[in-house]
């Protein structure tokens, strides 16, 4: 049986609830992370979208910047949109501080102000064919180090990348849907058929990083399995 990892979702701002739901759907146990002590208890972490400048202020205020920097050096960490900006080594437009875990340059708000949000279907190497991607005031990955693998593209540009323990998306994978078997026109996203391939991929990264025995690891990881869909 596959182990059930405990995956933290940084819950300072942004759509952390949707990420938590997505994690349950891929057989992971979500845990909201707001403090350094909570960060200690998780096997991997998602940094959601939001506003990266606000994140920086909140991380500083909560004393979370340094612990997060340390976590992202070695532990599975997935940044989406503003989270991707926080993980990148270099940020432009304008320059700002970051955790420096992903060897990439990211340009903020790269698609212009007039395009607030966009839904695009792009190519991916994840199994299952093209992926629906929701971009919201999205950044663009404009330079990647040689150790960075591209997992999905939009018009030929990288939008989902991995470097060892780091996964980063410039879009919002918690909002992706597959069109197959989506019959309703409901405005409620939850009524549609969510596409959880990106969260599934990250959950597997976290599982692969779990120590064999679990000794010396977070106790959360060994907690009795709670309900998972
Ligand atoms: N534009 C935001 C920033 O620069 C990111 C937007 C998002 O996370 N959806 O931080």
pLDDT tens digit string along 99-115? 999 999 999 999 876 56
Q: Is the CB of 81 under 6 A from ligand 1?
A: yes
What does the pLDDT look like over 195-217, one tens digit per residue?
A: 999 999 999 999 999 997 544 44
- Ligand 1 centroid – CA 153 distance (Å): 18
Look up the domain containing 28 and give its range: 6-227
Overall domain count for the chain = 1
Q: Is residue 63 part of a domain?
A: yes
Q: Looking at residues 137-155, what average pLDDT do you find?
A: 97
- pTM (two decimals): 0.89
Q: Which of 46-60, 110-124, 171-185, 209-223 has the lowest mean pLDDT?
A: 209-223
Q: Is residue 28 part of a domain?
A: yes
Q: Is residue 206 part of a domain?
A: yes
- Band of residue 186 on the pLDDT scale cut at 50, 70, 90: low
Q: Is the CB of 21 under 6 A from ligand 1?
A: no
State what percent of residues in the chain have pLDDT above 70.
85
Coil, strand, or helix at residue 170?
coil
Q: Is residue 141 part of a domain?
A: yes
Q: Is residue 33 part of a domain?
A: yes
Q: Is residue 194 part of a domain?
A: yes
Active-site choice (81, 84, 107, 199): 81
Helix/strand/coil (H/E/C) assignment for every residue in the chain: CCCCCEEEEECCCCCHHHHHHHHHHCCCEEEEECCHHHHCCCCEEEECCCCHHHHHHHHHHCCCHHHHHHHHHHCCEEEECHHHHHHEEEEECCCCCCCCCEEEEEECCCCCCCCCEEEEEECECCCCCCEEEEEECCCEEEEECCCCEEEEEECCEEEEEEECCEEEECCCHHHCECCCCCCCCCCCHHHCCECCHHHHHHHHHHHHHCCCCCCCCCHHHHCCCCCCC
Q: Is residue 1 part of a domain?
A: no
194 vs 174: CA distance, rounded Å = 8
Q: Which CATH number is 180's domain given?
A: 3.40.50.880
């Amino acid at each position: 049986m596959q182990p059930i990892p405990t995956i933290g979702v940084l819950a300072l701002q942004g759509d952390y609830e949707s990420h938590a739901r997505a994690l349950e759907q891929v057989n992971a146990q979500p845990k909201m992370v707001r403090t350094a002590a909570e960060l200690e208890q998780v096997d991997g972490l998602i940094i959601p979208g939001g506003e990266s400048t606000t994140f920086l202020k909140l991380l500083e205020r909560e004393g979370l910047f340094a612990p997060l920097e340390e976590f992202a050096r070695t532990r599975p960490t997935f940044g989406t949109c503003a989270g991707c900006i926080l993980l990148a080594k270099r940020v432009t437009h304008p320059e700002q501080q970051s955790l420096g875990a992903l060897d990439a340059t990211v340009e903020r708000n790269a698609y212009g102000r007039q395009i607030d949000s966009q839904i695009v279907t792009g190519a991916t190497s994840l199994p299952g064919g093209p992926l629906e991607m929701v971009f919201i005031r999205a950044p663009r990955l404009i330079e990647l180090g040689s150790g960075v693998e591209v997992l999905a593209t939009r018009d030929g540009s990288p939008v989902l990348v991995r470097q060892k323990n780091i996964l980063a998306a410039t879009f919002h994978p918690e909002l992706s849907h597959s069109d197959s078997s989506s019959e309703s026109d409901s405005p409620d996203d939850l009524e549609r058929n969510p596409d959880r391939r990106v969260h599934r991929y990250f959950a597997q990264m976290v599982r692969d990083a779990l120590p064999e025995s679990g000794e010396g690891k977070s106790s959360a990881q060994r907690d009795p399995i709670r309900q998972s869909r």
